[in-house]
Amino acid sequence: MKAGDIRKHLMTGVSFMIPFVVPGGILIAVAFMVGGIFWENAAAQFLGNLGKSAFGLMVPAMAGYIAYSIADRPGIAPGFIAGIIANDQGSGFLGGILGGLLAGYIVLYIKKQKVPTFIRAMMPMLIIPLIGTVIVGLVMTFVIGPPAAWLNTTMTSMLNSLSTVSTVLLAIVLGAMMAFDMGGPVNKAAYMFALGLTDGGNWVPVAAVMVGGMTPPLGVAFAMLLRKDKFTALEHEGLTGCFVGAASFITEFAIPYAAADPIHVIPSLMVGSAVGAAVSMLSGTSLMAPHGGVFVLPLASSPLMWLLSIILGGLATAGMLIMLKPTVPPEESGA
């Protein structure tokens, strides 16, 4: 298992994920535009639910085609099922990556086994997907699932202790958590913690976590504009979607970039989100809306300061990406 092979498999998964991310995110953004943050009319509900359905297939598609890249067609079913389990257990796209790699290499191992001739014909369509699915299901459920649940509980406990120590430190941690797994257990813990504080009338952390969720796609977009040679032609196709995601508080638009190069991209996203959330929290800006991105800008106590915190976070992300991401080969570059 070489690093170059892993990157190839991840990029294959990403290429099949993007067709779900883009329409899903844009449909949700349009739902906000026509129906407000609560999708208050039938058109908004239809578009929003359609977008959520597309998003629901994002991680399974990525996991399925990572497995396909490794083991060819027999890997697709176990990979998709690993992605569905990752969605259900809340381990997010990181769980999907692990599940896709696991499914692919398990199926590849089974394919290499010598079997009697009369069984060989049933291997690709029946035996390999069945055995692969059972093994992957067991590992995802009993090995990967429990740490995801533990992580959510642990992060919530840590945030509760930080809330009484330092406002700045709390903001930095909340922002970084929002960008770490973009919908996974860490992200959810930060978001739900901020929402929980609103019971006491404190909406400042909500503004901070929304900044933390908007800066990842914005920072990726800024980086693509500033250094095209750091991204592939396929990644450049998502430029417009990243701006839409940033404007709509749809962090998931950054997931394909993180999935393709997690080692360099995830720390960059975390730094930018931490910067943006800290600026928002230090300014004392509150936001009495749980979602909506820039569509709820008028509800911020200091709209200009909140917008500035998003832009600064995006620029910090872009700077980190330009610094950390290697230049892609000319034949792959969108430059």
pLDDT score of 305: 97
pLDDT recorded at residue 224:
96
* Residue 40 placed within a domain: no
Residue 298 lies in a domain: yes
Contact between 87 and 54 under an 8 Å Cβ cutoff? The reply is no
Residue 16 within a domain: no
In a domain, 99, yes or no: no
Into how many domains does the chain fold? 1
Answer whether residue 65 is part of any domain.
Answer: no
| Segments in the chain below pLDDT 50 | none
Whether the CB-CB separation of 96 and 86 falls below 8 Å is answered with yes
Inter-residue contact 105 to 69 (CB < 8 Å): no
Q: What is the pLDDT of residue 334?
A: 58
Whether the CA torsion 17, 22, 23, 26 is positive or negative: it is: positive
Distance CA 185, CA 92 (A): 7
pLDDT at position 7: 86
Please report whether residue 2 resides in a domain.
no
What's the CA gap between 262 and 181, in Å, rounded? 10
Task: Return the pLDDT at 59.
Answer: 93
Residue 125 is assigned to a structural domain of this protein: no
The pLDDT value recorded for residue 123 is 87
Residues 130-169 pLDDT 10s: 999 999 999 999 998 888 878 878 887 888 777 656 788 9
Residue 278 belongs to what domain range? 163-335
Please tell me the distance from the alpha carbon of residue 93 to that of residue 221, in angstroms, as a whole number: 20
**What's the pLDDT at 1?**
61
Residue 199 confidence (pLDDT): 83
Q: Please check whether residue 39 lies inside any domain of the structure.
A: no
